[in-house]
Structure 1
């Protein structure tokens, strides 16, 4: 028999599988009660065993009506392209280079026209009231976050 962390992980994966859906919503406190552990143990399992790299997206809402939502995702067929582009982006990117990247994603059919327009509008310099260096860092962070989202498709 495994340790409590392994048991919680197995339980969550089994429950997700049995539900027939790609989404599982649980209450942290109820799960902690069921396994007779502290809620932080549940947090640990979720944060280490249900990561994006392992094929899961986790949403969490704390408080009285709080929940943890675990969604199983699969890689988009363009995952290698997205990873290559993220490598190019690095820690900082100017607007022109970002626009070129968005155009490339569109031309390679990794994103549609609407997604390209949305991404380009978010990355426009007019939205950033800061120094050029800081603006380029923010732009890189935003573009990387959007590409992370594009890498995985939800199975809803």
Structure 2
């Protein structure tokens, strides 16, 4: 376990709990104490590793009785999944978020391994380098086009 950083350990712990139940409610300070880290580390893990693109919905309530609730999203039929992903993408998407969406679609058996590989290659930053500030917008248009085409045979 020495090769794992604290963020990896926190993520693994929360995902293990989520495998047993589809929802976990945590108190940031309690988890920070459990892993001997600062509470902001918990925020970082949740913000970067439990996103809607990765199949999680996060709710939080601040204050003395506050909590963070993480729900594992249950994806319905393929067309609805694709429409949801298209809505999430919007007009712009980073390479990392695009990769997360593609991985989630593969995990949910919406796309094959081969399709996932091809889509991942097409999201690579090196392909968009000349685009500069337009990179994320171009990536979003390409990914949305892929997803729209998957809806129809």
Secondary structure of 1:44's partner? helix
SS at match of 1:13: helix
The equivalent of 1:47 in structure 2 is 47
Task: Specify every segment of 5 or more residues in structure 2 that has no aligned partner in the other structure, as ranges.
Answer: 92-153
Specify the structure having the higher radius of gyration (Cα): 1
Q: What is the TM-score with the length of structure 1 in the denominator?
A: 0.50
Shift of residue 17, structure 1, vs aligned partner: 1.8
SS in 2 for 1:75: coil
Could you give the per-residue CA deviations for residues 104-127 of structure 1, whole angstroms, max 9, x where no partner exists? xxxxxxxxxxxxxxxxxxxxxxxx
Contact 2:50 2:57 (C-alpha < 8 Å) held by counterparts: yes
Residue of structure 2 in register with 1:37 after alignment: 37
Structure having greater relative contact order (Cα 8 Å, sep ≥ 6): 1
> Distance between the aligned counterparts of 2:5 and 2:34, measured in 1?
15
CA-to-aligned-CA distance 1:72-93 (integer Å, 9 cap, x gap)? 0132312224556x49x86xxx
Could you give the per-residue CA deviations for residues 23-77 of structure 1, whole angstroms, max 9, x where no partner exists?
1001100000111111000000000000000000000111111101000013231
SS of structure 2 residue aligned to 1:59: strand
CA contact (8 A) 2:53 2:85 kept: no
Residues 7 and 83 (structure 1 numbering): CA distance in 2 closer, same or farther, change over 3 Å? closer
Structure 1: how far apart are the matches of 2:63 and 2:40? 14
Residue 15 of structure 1 and its aligned partner are, at CA, apart by 1.5
2:31 alignment partner, SS class = helix
Aligned partner of 2:73 in structure 1 is 73
TM-score, normalised by the number of residues in structure 2: 0.51
- Distance of aligned partners of 1:27 and 1:76 in 2 relative to their CA distance in 1, 3 Å threshold: same
CA RMSD of aligned residues (A): 2.3
Gap runs ≥5 in structure 1: 91-156
9, 12, 34: which is aligned to 2:11?
9
Give the alignment of 1:1-156 within 5 angstroms.
1=1, 2-18=4-20, 21-77=21-77, 78-83=80-85, 86=87
